[in-house]
Structure 1
Amino acid sequence: MSSSSNEPPVPWLSAAEQEVWRNFLRLSRGMERAVDRQLQRDSELSGSEYDILVPLSEAASGELPSRELLRGLGWERSRLSHMLSRMERRDMLRRSPSPTDGRGLVVAITDHGREAIGRAAPAHLAMVREALVDHLSQDEKSALLSIARKVLPRLAAMGLA
């Protein structure tokens, strides 16, 4: 199970650990698929487009540096660039050179982008509530938040997030 003979072997997951891991993957992937399907069914947005429009719509100025979007989304630069080009062609956002970073871009939501997320948000939030939030106790919500706050920084420290 080790990657080289100089490293100690990595212990296999116990049956209980395997159950946790596999069910976490099923939950995570299942929610992601459900969000994508719901958005595609009920709006003109994909899950990725919604993910981009949310922080732009929440920003006081309606714009963010592309580096900040990239960091917040945790995507590869090429994926963000492709999505921004696609959304710009659909008049959901516009890109312009950053006034403070000669190599950077500023991404701004357009009126059409605001309208699109405004139409998509109610059904999306209803699905998130129905599928997840309303079925968790406050202790379960707190536990999920605690887990995310432990694991996400660890992934970043490992260079994986």
Structure 2
Amino acid sequence: MPPVIRSALSPSLLAVALLAVSASGPVVAQAAPLPSMAELPAALAPGKQVLVARQLGLTSAEEADFWPVYDNYQTAVRELREKRMQLVAEIAAADAKRLDQIAQELVQIEIDEADLQKQVRSRLRNRVEAGKLVRYLLLEQMVSALERNAAY
């Protein structure tokens, strides 16, 4: 397994996610199981929003709060991921000085992406059931790991 995916699926992250999902009660238990990293590309084929909707099983009230936050997050994170792809494409032709700059920028992208997830959690933590929010954040981390792996 590539190091990027391995780090994204660290045992501590998985333990916390599994604990939160199992503690969240029967609503999450009725949701479809999270796809494995190998199954994720096929699960994403109909569209990420479709996958998220199936995975979370939001109530009407939760949907009203969730989807605007989701849309804003997707716009912001798409910009970061596009920037990551541009930087990765530059690596082969970069000199040592530029490689150092690229490394700094890649680290900053990771920080910015984590900050965006914190904002999502903050905006939704009292509006969406905790287990559903954890599932969503875990799905985002899985998609991010998949995209990072494809970039490298």
Compute the TM-score of the two structures, normalised by the length of structure 2: 0.28
Richer in helix (by share): 2
Tell me which structure has the larger Cα radius of gyration.
1
* Bigger RCO of structures 1 and 2 (CA < 8 A, at least 6 apart): 2
Richer in strand (by share): 1
